[in-house]
Structure 1
Protein backbone atom coordinates (compact mmCIF):
# COMPACT_ATOMS: atom_id res chain seq x y z
CA UNK A 1 0.00 0.00 0.00
CA UNK A 2 1.39 3.42 -0.99
CA UNK A 3 0.82 5.90 1.81
CA UNK A 4 3.17 8.57 0.52
CA UNK A 5 0.26 10.72 -0.68
CA UNK A 6 -1.27 10.95 2.80
CA UNK A 7 -0.74 14.02 4.99
CA UNK A 8 2.26 13.25 7.29
CA UNK A 9 0.51 14.84 10.29
CA UNK A 10 -2.57 12.66 9.87
CA UNK A 11 -0.38 9.59 9.44
CA UNK A 12 1.32 10.39 12.75
CA UNK A 13 -2.02 10.89 14.50
CA UNK A 14 -3.56 7.77 12.98
CA UNK A 15 -0.48 5.70 13.83
CA UNK A 16 -0.43 6.87 17.45
CA UNK A 17 -4.17 6.20 17.88
CA UNK A 18 -3.92 2.76 16.26
CA UNK A 19 -1.01 1.80 18.50
CA UNK A 20 -2.81 3.14 21.57
CA UNK A 21 -5.99 1.13 20.91
CA UNK A 22 -4.01 -2.10 20.44
CA UNK A 23 -1.98 -1.36 23.56
CA UNK A 24 -5.18 -0.78 25.54
CA UNK A 25 -5.95 -4.52 25.44
CA UNK A 26 -5.02 -5.49 29.02
CA UNK A 27 -4.11 -9.13 28.56
CA UNK A 28 -3.35 -9.65 32.26
CA UNK A 29 -7.03 -9.02 32.97
CA UNK A 30 -8.30 -10.81 29.84
CA UNK A 31 -6.20 -13.96 30.39
CA UNK A 32 -7.00 -14.04 34.10
CA UNK A 33 -10.72 -13.98 33.30
CA UNK A 34 -10.31 -16.79 30.77
CA UNK A 35 -8.46 -18.89 33.38
CA UNK A 36 -10.99 -18.11 36.10
CA UNK A 37 -8.39 -16.26 38.19
CA UNK A 38 -8.82 -13.20 40.34
CA UNK A 39 -8.34 -9.80 38.72
CA UNK A 40 -4.56 -9.12 38.90
CA UNK A 41 -5.36 -5.59 40.06
CA UNK A 42 -6.77 -7.08 43.30
CA UNK A 43 -3.70 -8.87 44.70
CA UNK A 44 0.09 -8.73 44.93
CA UNK A 45 1.37 -5.44 43.57
CA UNK A 46 -2.01 -4.68 42.01
CA UNK A 47 -0.24 -4.34 38.67
CA UNK A 48 -1.98 -5.92 35.63
CA UNK A 49 1.14 -7.53 34.18
CA UNK A 50 2.73 -10.93 33.71
CA UNK A 51 4.83 -10.77 36.90
CA UNK A 52 1.78 -10.17 39.06
CA UNK A 53 -0.25 -12.85 37.26
CA UNK A 54 2.60 -15.25 38.09
CA UNK A 55 1.93 -14.51 41.76
CA UNK A 56 -1.47 -16.17 41.31
CA UNK A 57 0.44 -19.45 41.01
CA UNK A 58 -0.71 -20.08 37.43
CA UNK A 59 2.42 -20.12 35.26
CA UNK A 60 0.46 -20.77 32.06
CA UNK A 61 -1.62 -17.63 32.53
CA UNK A 62 1.51 -15.61 33.31
CA UNK A 63 3.30 -16.85 30.16
CA UNK A 64 0.29 -16.06 27.95
CA UNK A 65 0.05 -12.60 29.48
CA UNK A 66 3.74 -11.99 28.83
CA UNK A 67 3.52 -13.17 25.21
CA UNK A 68 0.41 -11.18 24.32
CA UNK A 69 1.58 -8.03 26.10
CA UNK A 70 4.79 -8.21 24.07
CA UNK A 71 2.93 -8.92 20.83
CA UNK A 72 0.68 -5.90 21.22
CA UNK A 73 3.82 -3.78 21.14
CA UNK A 74 5.59 -5.76 18.44
CA UNK A 75 2.82 -6.33 15.87
CA UNK A 76 1.71 -2.69 15.33
CA UNK A 77 5.33 -1.56 14.90
CA UNK A 78 6.14 -4.32 12.40
CA UNK A 79 2.92 -3.58 10.51
CA UNK A 80 3.87 0.10 10.30
CA UNK A 81 7.31 -0.86 8.98
CA UNK A 82 5.77 -3.22 6.41
CA UNK A 83 3.56 -0.37 5.20
CA UNK A 84 6.70 1.69 4.55
CA UNK A 85 5.87 4.41 7.10
CA UNK A 86 8.68 6.74 8.08
CA UNK A 87 10.62 6.56 11.34
CA UNK A 88 8.57 9.26 13.07
CA UNK A 89 5.28 7.45 12.40
CA UNK A 90 6.72 4.06 13.38
CA UNK A 91 7.98 5.60 16.62
CA UNK A 92 4.55 7.03 17.41
CA UNK A 93 2.88 3.68 16.69
CA UNK A 94 5.19 1.99 19.20
CA UNK A 95 4.87 4.77 21.75
CA UNK A 96 1.08 4.69 21.34
CA UNK A 97 1.00 0.94 22.08
CA UNK A 98 3.13 1.48 25.17
CA UNK A 99 0.93 4.32 26.44
CA UNK A 100 -2.14 2.18 25.80
CA UNK A 101 -0.77 -0.46 28.14
CA UNK A 102 -0.09 2.14 30.84
CA UNK A 103 -3.49 3.84 30.51
CA UNK A 104 -5.85 1.43 28.67
CA UNK A 105 -9.04 3.10 27.48
CA UNK A 106 -10.92 -0.25 27.63
CA UNK A 107 -10.02 -0.90 31.29
CA UNK A 108 -10.74 2.40 33.06
CA UNK A 109 -7.18 3.60 32.35
CA UNK A 110 -5.86 1.17 35.01
CA UNK A 111 -2.83 -0.28 33.27
CA UNK A 112 0.45 -1.99 34.01
CA UNK A 113 4.03 -0.82 34.03
CA UNK A 114 4.66 -1.65 30.39
CA UNK A 115 7.77 -3.84 30.58
CA UNK A 116 6.63 -6.60 28.21
CA UNK A 117 4.97 -4.16 25.82
CA UNK A 118 8.09 -1.99 25.74
CA UNK A 119 10.15 -5.10 24.97
CA UNK A 120 7.81 -5.91 22.08
CA UNK A 121 8.08 -2.35 20.75
CA UNK A 122 11.89 -2.46 20.91
CA UNK A 123 11.96 -5.82 19.12
CA UNK A 124 9.71 -4.32 16.46
CA UNK A 125 11.99 -1.30 16.06
CA UNK A 126 15.01 -3.60 15.72
CA UNK A 127 15.45 -7.25 16.75
CA UNK A 128 19.06 -6.47 17.68
CA UNK A 129 18.05 -3.55 19.89
CA UNK A 130 15.28 -5.52 21.59
CA UNK A 131 17.51 -8.57 21.99
CA UNK A 132 20.33 -6.63 23.66
CA UNK A 133 17.96 -4.92 26.10
CA UNK A 134 16.29 -8.25 26.89
CA UNK A 135 19.73 -9.69 27.69
CA UNK A 136 20.20 -6.92 30.24
CA UNK A 137 16.82 -7.75 31.80
CA UNK A 138 17.54 -11.49 31.82
CA UNK A 139 20.99 -11.09 33.33
CA UNK A 140 19.74 -8.92 36.18
CA UNK A 141 16.72 -11.17 36.78
CA UNK A 142 18.85 -14.32 36.98
CA UNK A 143 21.42 -12.78 39.31
CA UNK A 144 19.15 -10.81 41.65
CA UNK A 145 15.69 -12.39 41.07
CA UNK A 146 13.93 -9.03 41.25
CA UNK A 147 11.75 -8.35 38.22
CA UNK A 148 11.58 -4.66 39.08
CA UNK A 149 15.35 -4.27 39.32
CA UNK A 150 15.78 -6.10 36.01
CA UNK A 151 13.19 -3.83 34.39
CA UNK A 152 14.79 -0.67 35.75
CA UNK A 153 18.21 -1.80 34.50
CA UNK A 154 16.78 -2.53 31.05
CA UNK A 155 15.02 0.86 31.00
CA UNK A 156 18.31 2.63 31.69
CA UNK A 157 20.16 0.51 29.11
CA UNK A 158 17.62 0.89 26.27
CA UNK A 159 18.31 4.50 25.18
CA UNK A 160 22.07 4.04 25.67
CA UNK A 161 22.09 0.95 23.44
CA UNK A 162 19.81 2.55 20.85
CA UNK A 163 21.79 5.78 20.51
CA UNK A 164 25.18 4.02 20.62
CA UNK A 165 24.16 1.52 17.95
CA UNK A 166 21.86 3.49 15.67
CA UNK A 167 22.46 7.18 16.35
CA UNK A 168 20.08 9.85 17.57
CA UNK A 169 16.75 10.36 15.79
CA UNK A 170 12.97 10.13 16.25
CA UNK A 171 13.36 6.53 17.43
CA UNK A 172 15.71 7.67 20.18
CA UNK A 173 13.11 10.11 21.51
CA UNK A 174 10.51 7.33 21.63
CA UNK A 175 12.89 5.01 23.49
CA UNK A 176 13.85 7.75 25.97
CA UNK A 177 10.18 8.54 26.68
CA UNK A 178 9.35 4.86 27.24
CA UNK A 179 12.35 4.40 29.53
CA UNK A 180 11.48 7.49 31.58
CA UNK A 181 7.87 6.34 31.98
CA UNK A 182 8.99 2.81 32.93
CA UNK A 183 11.21 4.19 35.68
CA UNK A 184 8.43 6.49 36.89
CA UNK A 185 5.92 3.60 36.98
CA UNK A 186 8.38 1.64 39.15
CA UNK A 187 8.57 4.37 41.80
CA UNK A 188 6.95 2.17 44.46
CA UNK A 189 9.24 -0.73 43.54
CA UNK A 190 12.29 1.50 43.91
CA UNK A 191 11.20 2.40 47.44
CA UNK A 192 10.65 -1.27 48.29
CA UNK A 193 14.02 -2.27 46.83
CA UNK A 194 15.78 0.36 48.94
CA UNK A 195 13.88 -0.82 52.03
CA UNK A 196 14.56 -4.51 51.29
CA UNK A 197 10.84 -5.25 51.00
CA UNK A 198 10.50 -6.03 47.29
CA UNK A 199 9.04 -9.41 46.29
CA UNK A 200 11.24 -11.74 44.27
CA UNK A 201 10.24 -13.49 41.05
CA UNK A 202 7.66 -16.23 41.63
CA UNK A 203 6.92 -15.20 45.20
CA UNK A 204 3.36 -15.97 46.23
CA UNK A 205 0.90 -13.11 46.11
CA UNK A 206 -0.42 -11.13 49.04
CA UNK A 207 -3.44 -8.82 48.83
CA UNK A 208 -2.48 -5.16 48.37
CA UNK A 209 -2.21 -3.26 51.64
CA UNK A 210 -5.44 -1.27 52.12
CA UNK A 211 -5.00 2.48 51.90
CA UNK A 212 -6.09 4.20 55.08
CA UNK A 213 -8.59 7.04 54.62
CA UNK A 214 -7.10 10.52 54.92
Structure 2
Protein backbone atom coordinates (compact mmCIF):
# COMPACT_ATOMS: atom_id res chain seq x y z
CA UNK A 1 0.00 0.00 0.00
CA UNK A 2 1.49 3.42 -0.99
CA UNK A 3 2.27 5.97 1.66
CA UNK A 4 -0.71 7.98 2.92
CA UNK A 5 1.55 10.51 4.59
CA UNK A 6 0.05 14.04 4.24
CA UNK A 7 3.23 15.32 2.60
CA UNK A 8 3.04 12.53 0.02
CA UNK A 9 -0.60 13.36 -0.68
CA UNK A 10 0.12 17.09 -1.04
CA UNK A 11 2.96 16.44 -3.50
CA UNK A 12 0.72 14.13 -5.52
CA UNK A 13 -2.06 16.71 -5.62
CA UNK A 14 0.36 19.45 -6.69
CA UNK A 15 1.67 17.25 -9.49
CA UNK A 16 -1.89 16.50 -10.65
CA UNK A 17 -2.80 20.19 -10.51
CA UNK A 18 0.31 21.06 -12.54
CA UNK A 19 -0.52 18.43 -15.14
CA UNK A 20 -4.09 19.67 -15.43
CA UNK A 21 -2.98 23.29 -15.70
CA UNK A 22 -1.21 22.92 -19.07
CA UNK A 23 -3.29 25.12 -21.45
CA UNK A 24 -3.05 22.93 -24.53
CA UNK A 25 -5.78 24.81 -26.38
CA UNK A 26 -4.00 28.13 -26.01
CA UNK A 27 -0.63 26.65 -26.97
CA UNK A 28 -1.90 24.80 -30.05
CA UNK A 29 -3.81 27.78 -31.45
CA UNK A 30 -0.76 30.00 -31.04
CA UNK A 31 1.53 27.39 -32.66
CA UNK A 32 -0.92 27.21 -35.57
CA UNK A 33 -0.56 30.96 -36.07
CA UNK A 34 -4.20 31.68 -35.16
CA UNK A 35 -3.42 34.10 -32.32
CA UNK A 36 -4.89 33.98 -28.82
CA UNK A 37 -7.90 31.67 -28.62
CA UNK A 38 -9.17 33.71 -25.67
CA UNK A 39 -9.74 36.67 -28.00
CA UNK A 40 -12.24 34.77 -30.14
CA UNK A 41 -15.61 33.10 -29.77
CA UNK A 42 -16.46 32.34 -26.16
CA UNK A 43 -12.91 33.14 -25.01
CA UNK A 44 -12.58 29.63 -23.61
CA UNK A 45 -9.39 27.57 -24.01
CA UNK A 46 -11.25 24.29 -24.39
CA UNK A 47 -11.76 22.14 -27.47
CA UNK A 48 -15.09 23.64 -28.53
CA UNK A 49 -13.72 27.16 -28.87
CA UNK A 50 -10.43 25.90 -30.32
CA UNK A 51 -12.48 24.21 -33.06
CA UNK A 52 -14.10 27.52 -33.89
CA UNK A 53 -10.80 29.37 -34.04
CA UNK A 54 -8.37 26.79 -35.39
CA UNK A 55 -10.60 24.20 -37.07
CA UNK A 56 -12.02 20.81 -36.13
CA UNK A 57 -8.66 19.03 -36.35
CA UNK A 58 -7.04 21.35 -33.84
CA UNK A 59 -10.10 21.09 -31.64
CA UNK A 60 -9.92 17.30 -31.64
CA UNK A 61 -6.22 17.33 -30.69
CA UNK A 62 -7.02 19.75 -27.87
CA UNK A 63 -9.83 17.50 -26.66
CA UNK A 64 -7.58 14.44 -26.58
CA UNK A 65 -4.78 16.30 -24.76
CA UNK A 66 -7.21 17.78 -22.21
CA UNK A 67 -8.59 14.30 -21.59
CA UNK A 68 -5.04 12.92 -21.27
CA UNK A 69 -3.98 15.44 -18.63
CA UNK A 70 -6.84 14.28 -16.41
CA UNK A 71 -6.29 10.62 -17.22
CA UNK A 72 -2.54 10.43 -16.55
CA UNK A 73 -2.35 11.38 -12.83
CA UNK A 74 -5.24 9.10 -11.86
CA UNK A 75 -4.00 6.25 -14.05
CA UNK A 76 -0.55 6.39 -12.44
CA UNK A 77 -2.11 6.49 -8.97
CA UNK A 78 -4.29 3.51 -9.79
CA UNK A 79 -1.35 1.53 -11.16
CA UNK A 80 0.49 2.27 -7.93
CA UNK A 81 -2.51 0.92 -5.97
CA UNK A 82 -3.28 4.24 -4.28
CA UNK A 83 -6.48 4.25 -2.18
CA UNK A 84 -9.55 5.27 -4.20
CA UNK A 85 -10.09 8.42 -2.15
CA UNK A 86 -6.57 9.56 -3.04
CA UNK A 87 -7.25 8.76 -6.69
CA UNK A 88 -10.38 10.91 -6.48
CA UNK A 89 -8.36 13.71 -4.85
CA UNK A 90 -5.92 13.65 -7.77
CA UNK A 91 -8.87 13.73 -10.18
CA UNK A 92 -10.19 16.84 -8.44
CA UNK A 93 -6.77 18.53 -8.51
CA UNK A 94 -6.23 17.79 -12.21
CA UNK A 95 -9.66 19.21 -13.05
CA UNK A 96 -9.03 22.25 -10.84
CA UNK A 97 -5.70 22.78 -12.60
CA UNK A 98 -7.51 23.10 -15.92
CA UNK A 99 -10.21 25.35 -14.49
CA UNK A 100 -7.84 27.58 -12.50
CA UNK A 101 -4.77 27.61 -14.73
CA UNK A 102 -2.06 29.57 -12.87
CA UNK A 103 -0.29 30.40 -16.15
CA UNK A 104 -3.42 32.29 -17.29
CA UNK A 105 -4.06 34.23 -14.08
CA UNK A 106 -6.15 31.30 -12.79
CA UNK A 107 -8.63 31.65 -15.66
CA UNK A 108 -8.86 28.35 -17.51
CA UNK A 109 -11.42 26.13 -19.17
CA UNK A 110 -14.59 24.48 -17.93
CA UNK A 111 -13.01 21.19 -16.94
CA UNK A 112 -15.29 18.80 -18.84
CA UNK A 113 -12.62 16.99 -20.87
CA UNK A 114 -10.13 16.84 -17.99
CA UNK A 115 -12.75 15.49 -15.60
CA UNK A 116 -13.70 12.94 -18.25
CA UNK A 117 -10.11 11.77 -18.54
CA UNK A 118 -9.78 11.44 -14.79
CA UNK A 119 -13.04 9.48 -14.61
CA UNK A 120 -11.93 7.12 -17.38
CA UNK A 121 -8.77 6.31 -15.44
CA UNK A 122 -10.66 5.96 -12.15
CA UNK A 123 -13.52 3.74 -13.40
CA UNK A 124 -14.20 3.76 -17.11
CA UNK A 125 -17.46 1.81 -16.91
CA UNK A 126 -18.97 4.47 -14.62
CA UNK A 127 -18.51 7.06 -17.36
CA UNK A 128 -20.98 5.31 -19.68
CA UNK A 129 -24.20 6.71 -18.10
CA UNK A 130 -22.83 10.26 -18.17
CA UNK A 131 -21.56 9.88 -21.71
CA UNK A 132 -24.89 8.45 -22.81
CA UNK A 133 -26.78 11.39 -21.29
CA UNK A 134 -24.37 13.84 -22.91
CA UNK A 135 -24.80 12.34 -26.38
CA UNK A 136 -28.59 12.07 -26.00
CA UNK A 137 -29.05 15.67 -24.87
CA UNK A 138 -26.71 17.11 -27.50
CA UNK A 139 -28.50 15.11 -30.19
CA UNK A 140 -31.93 16.27 -28.99
CA UNK A 141 -31.18 19.90 -28.08
CA UNK A 142 -27.88 20.70 -29.90
CA UNK A 143 -26.63 22.30 -26.67
CA UNK A 144 -23.17 21.03 -25.70
CA UNK A 145 -23.38 23.00 -22.46
CA UNK A 146 -26.59 21.26 -21.38
CA UNK A 147 -25.15 17.85 -22.14
CA UNK A 148 -21.98 18.70 -20.23
CA UNK A 149 -23.88 19.94 -17.17
CA UNK A 150 -26.21 16.94 -16.93
CA UNK A 151 -23.39 14.52 -17.67
CA UNK A 152 -21.26 16.06 -14.93
CA UNK A 153 -24.08 15.84 -12.38
CA UNK A 154 -24.66 12.19 -13.26
CA UNK A 155 -21.01 11.27 -12.80
CA UNK A 156 -20.81 11.11 -8.98
CA UNK A 157 -24.02 9.07 -8.95
CA UNK A 158 -22.40 6.59 -11.32
CA UNK A 159 -19.22 6.51 -9.27
CA UNK A 160 -21.19 5.67 -6.14
CA UNK A 161 -23.39 3.08 -7.81
CA UNK A 162 -21.36 1.30 -10.50
CA UNK A 163 -19.08 -1.43 -9.14
CA UNK A 164 -16.21 -3.28 -10.82
CA UNK A 165 -14.49 -6.62 -10.45
CA UNK A 166 -11.23 -6.59 -8.54
CA UNK A 167 -10.54 -10.00 -7.02
CA UNK A 168 -8.04 -12.03 -9.03
CA UNK A 169 -8.00 -15.79 -9.44
CA UNK A 170 -5.82 -18.21 -11.37
CA UNK A 171 -7.69 -20.53 -13.70
CA UNK A 172 -5.61 -23.04 -15.65
CA UNK A 173 -2.65 -20.72 -15.52
CA UNK A 174 -4.68 -17.72 -16.71
CA UNK A 175 -5.26 -14.85 -14.32
CA UNK A 176 -8.91 -13.75 -14.32
CA UNK A 177 -10.96 -11.37 -12.21
CA UNK A 178 -13.96 -12.37 -10.16
CA UNK A 179 -15.94 -10.60 -7.50
CA UNK A 180 -17.08 -7.03 -7.04
CA UNK A 181 -15.30 -4.18 -5.30
CA UNK A 182 -17.04 -2.88 -2.23
CA UNK A 183 -18.69 0.52 -2.40
CA UNK A 184 -16.24 3.42 -2.46
CA UNK A 185 -15.77 5.32 0.80
CA UNK A 186 -17.91 8.43 1.13
CA UNK A 187 -14.81 10.62 0.90
CA UNK A 188 -14.17 9.43 -2.67
CA UNK A 189 -17.80 9.95 -3.72
CA UNK A 190 -17.80 13.39 -2.09
CA UNK A 191 -14.71 14.39 -4.11
CA UNK A 192 -16.51 13.39 -7.31
CA UNK A 193 -19.45 15.53 -6.21
CA UNK A 194 -17.02 18.46 -5.88
CA UNK A 195 -15.68 17.78 -9.38
CA UNK A 196 -19.22 17.81 -10.77
CA UNK A 197 -20.09 21.03 -8.95
CA UNK A 198 -16.89 22.67 -10.19
CA UNK A 199 -17.76 21.83 -13.80
CA UNK A 200 -21.34 23.06 -13.35
CA UNK A 201 -20.17 26.29 -11.69
CA UNK A 202 -17.92 27.02 -14.67
CA UNK A 203 -21.01 26.77 -16.87
CA UNK A 204 -22.90 29.48 -14.96
CA UNK A 205 -23.02 31.79 -17.98
CA UNK A 206 -24.30 28.95 -20.16
CA UNK A 207 -26.95 28.14 -17.56
CA UNK A 208 -28.13 31.76 -17.59
CA UNK A 209 -28.35 31.72 -21.40
CA UNK A 210 -30.17 28.38 -21.39
CA UNK A 211 -32.77 29.80 -19.01
CA UNK A 212 -33.17 32.89 -21.20
CA UNK A 213 -33.30 30.83 -24.40
CA UNK A 214 -30.29 32.63 -25.88
CA UNK A 215 -27.72 29.82 -25.75
CA UNK A 216 -26.21 29.06 -29.17
CA UNK A 217 -26.58 25.47 -30.40
CA UNK A 218 -23.71 23.29 -31.60
CA UNK A 219 -24.85 23.73 -35.19
CA UNK A 220 -27.40 25.90 -36.89
CA UNK A 221 -26.75 29.10 -34.92
CA UNK A 222 -28.56 32.15 -36.22
CA UNK A 223 -26.65 34.26 -38.69
CA UNK A 224 -24.60 36.90 -36.94
CA UNK A 225 -25.10 35.27 -33.55
CA UNK A 226 -21.90 34.83 -31.54
CA UNK A 227 -21.30 31.28 -30.28
CA UNK A 228 -21.20 30.89 -26.50
CA UNK A 229 -20.85 27.22 -25.66
TM-score of the pair, normalised by structure 1: 0.88
Secondary structure at 1:153's aligned position in 2?
helix
Bigger relative contact order (CA 8 A; separation at least 6): 1
Q: Is 1:181 the equivalent of 2:198?
A: yes
Query: Which residue of the partner structure matches residue 35 of structure 2?
Result: 38
1:57 to partner: Cα distance: 5.6
Q: Is 1:68 the equivalent of 2:85?
A: no
1:108 to 101, 105, 109: 105
1:1-214 equivalence runs, <5 A: 4=2, 6-56=3-53, 58-166=55-163, 167-169=183-185, 170-202=187-219, 206=226
Consecutive unaligned residues of structure 1, counting only runs of 5 or more, are: 209-214
1:164 to partner: Cα distance: 2.0
1:195 to partner: Cα distance: 1.3
- Greater gyration radius: 2
1:205 to partner: Cα distance: 8.2
Q: Which shows bigger deviation, 179-188 or 160-169?
A: 160-169
Change (3 A) 1:104 1:57: closer
Per-residue Cα deviation, 1:73-108 (whole angstroms, up to 9, x for no partner): 011100111112112221121111000000112222
Query: Which residue of the partner structure matches residue 169 of structure 2?
Result: none
Change (3 A) 1:171 1:7: closer
Per-residue Cα deviation, 1:139-175 (whole angstroms, up to 9, x for no partner): 2112211110000110121112222224452321121
Q: Which shows bigger deviation, 165-174 or 11-20?
A: 165-174
Tell me, in whole angstroms, the C-alpha distance in 2 between the residues paired with 1:178 and 1:96. Answer: 9
TM-score of the pair, normalised by structure 2: 0.83
In the alignment, is the contact (CA less than 8 A) between 1:43 and 1:205 conserved in 2? no
Tell me, in whole angstroms, the C-alpha distance in 2 between the residues paired with 1:119 and 1:125. Answer: 10
The number of residues matched between the two structures is 205
Q: Which shows bigger deviation, 116-125 or 134-143?
A: 134-143
Consecutive unaligned residues of structure 2, counting only runs of 5 or more, are: 164-182
